[in-house]
Structure formats: structure tokens, C-alpha cells
Amino acid sequence: MARLNRVPRRPVRVVSVHSFRGGTGKSNLSANVAAQLAREGMRVGVIDADVQSPGIHVLFGLSGDDITASLNDFLFDGVPIEQVALDVTPPGVPGRIHLIPSSIQPGEITRVLRNGYDSQQLVEGLREFVDALELDALLVDTHPGLQEETLLSLVVADTVLVVLRPDQQDYEGTGVTVHVAKELEVPRIALVVNKSPDSFDPAVVRERVEQAYDCPVVAVLPHSDVMMTLGSAGIFSLRYPDEDLSKELITVADFVRREAG
């Protein structure tokens, strides 16, 4: 379990949630999986590694003004990573969720775009985050595409969830991502098809995608008008537990909770 433990410290499930293109819903998936793991009593860390276009904090009820410390402070100013973690555990959830957000300040985003950051430092920060907060699972919400930072997040993970929509552009990019993850020998690679129209048979979608990439599909998440109405103003699977979409999100969390082979 957990290739992050190349420097052994504590066992942890490390999951990289990735997509080749933006707009696939990977941040929503990350937040909902984290919430469902915490519902089972797990201590979960979530890190917004999409420092160029951060946003997962919104799903946990935070605005940009609420972020007084961020991943940027660790990467650029040497602030200990556990000091930039926020407890965002929803009420009534028995476990814990600790979020490391990225700064939404324009100047900080510009600094990342202009100067980049030390990817190896980020990996060491992940180890420190796991140990300091005694995490059982760590979800890394990556930047879309394949940059050095993204590749490192794949290297340290024991599980990679690749999110795609039933869209031709997503299909092509997903093939590249899956190929790279296999080359990096990630122990578990799985696909999550998101925003599948009601007119599509989920079983047919699953079969076609699995055959196309020789990779298991954990869930086919249906398009949801209720999700669109919520507009990222909360954790969908906690607000609407009886929705079909929520049941599929729980299936993804169950997959994550199982140890990598």
C-alpha cells in the first residue's frame, strides 16, 4: 500500500485523481470520495495540487477569503505543511477531512505560472502531511494534463482515478494518461466516467470504455440536474444520499478504501 511510503512512516492510501482535460468533475469526485471515506471513520487528507486553477475549497464551504494559509505558503515560504491544513469535516461525519487548499489570489497564481515550483518538495510535503495528521487516506486533486507535477503525483500514488466524460476529446486524452500511468507502474489504475447522459446505457458505456483502454471502470456517474443546481455549494453525496449519482460516488469510495493489490 502507498508508494508514498518509499520512506516508510505510516500506511496510507494515496489516490491521485486526474483528468487529461479540465471540466471533467474531478474536484467534485475528490471531495465526495473524501466525504464518504470520512463517513466510515477514516482520517482523510485532500490536497489541491491544481495550483494554477484551484477551487476544491468551494465544495467544503470555503471562499477565497477564508483561505488564510495555503499550499503556496509551504512551497514558496517554507511554512510547515501541517500549518496550512484546514479541518473541513462536515457536521455529523465521524472521521476527519483535512484540506490543503491552493491560493486563489491572482498574485500567487501568477507566481506559479511564472516560476513554477519544486515538485520534489511537494512530494516530501505529502509525506509530512500524512504523518503530522495521521492520515488513513490522501487524495491529490491534480492539475489537468501531463506536466512534471502531475507525473510526480502519479508516481507516489498507489491508485490513480482517471476521470473522463463520454466525449471524443476526453477519450483521446484519457488514452494518453492511462498509457503513462501504466508506464509508471502505478499499482491500480481505474476510470470514472462522469456526466453520462440519461440516454446512454451505463452498462454499454462501461463495456466500451473498458475495452478501449484495457482498464477497469469503477463507476459510470450519471448526469444530474440536481448536481448542476447545487452548483458546487456543498458535498453532493452528503446532501442527497438517495440520488443515483450518490450511490455511484459511494462505489468509488469503496474502491478507494480497498487496498491496492
Q: Using one digit for the tens of pLDDT, what is the confidence trace for 166-220? A: 888 787 788 888 888 888 888 899 999 999 999 999 999 999 999 999 999 999 9
Q: What distance in Å separates the CA atoms of residue 245 and residue 229, rounded to the nearest whole number?
A: 14
In this prediction, residue 217 carries a pLDDT of 97
In this prediction, residue 261 carries a pLDDT of 45
DSSP H helices in the chain = 26-39, 71-77, 106-115, 119-132, 148-155, 168-183, 202-213, 225-230, 236-239, 244-257
| Residue 223 DSSP class | P
In this prediction, residue 211 carries a pLDDT of 92
In this prediction, residue 252 carries a pLDDT of 97
In this prediction, residue 51 carries a pLDDT of 75
Q: What distance in Å separates the CA atoms of residue 46 and residue 196, rounded to the nearest whole number?
A: 26
Give strand pairing partners of 220. Answer: 193
Element (H, E) at 220: strand 217-222
> Considering the entire predicted model, what is its pTM?
0.90
Q: Which of 188, 235, 207 is nearest to 93 (CA)?
A: 235
**Does residue 81 contact residue 131 with C-beta atoms inside 8 Å?**
no
Q: What distance in Å separates the CA atoms of residue 61 and residue 90, rounded to the nearest whole number?
A: 9
**Half-sphere exposure of residue 21, counting CA atoms within 13 Å on the CB side?**
15
Give strand pairing partners of 161. Answer: 17, 190
**Does residue 29 contact residue 161 with C-beta atoms inside 8 Å?**
yes
In this prediction, residue 115 carries a pLDDT of 67
> Residues in the chain with pLDDT < 50?
6-8, 261
Question: C-alpha angle 192/193/195, rounded to 5°?
Answer: 130
**What are the phi and psi torsion angles at 195 (to 5°)?**
60, 40
> How far from 47 is each of 37, 41, 192, 214, CA to CA, in Å?
15, 19, 20, 29
Q: What distance in Å separates the CA atoms of residue 89 and residue 87, rounded to the nearest whole number?
A: 6
In this prediction, residue 231 carries a pLDDT of 86
In this prediction, residue 3 carries a pLDDT of 56
Close Cβ partners of 12 (under 8 Å, ≥ 6 residues apart): 1, 2, 4, 5, 130, 135, 136, 137, 138
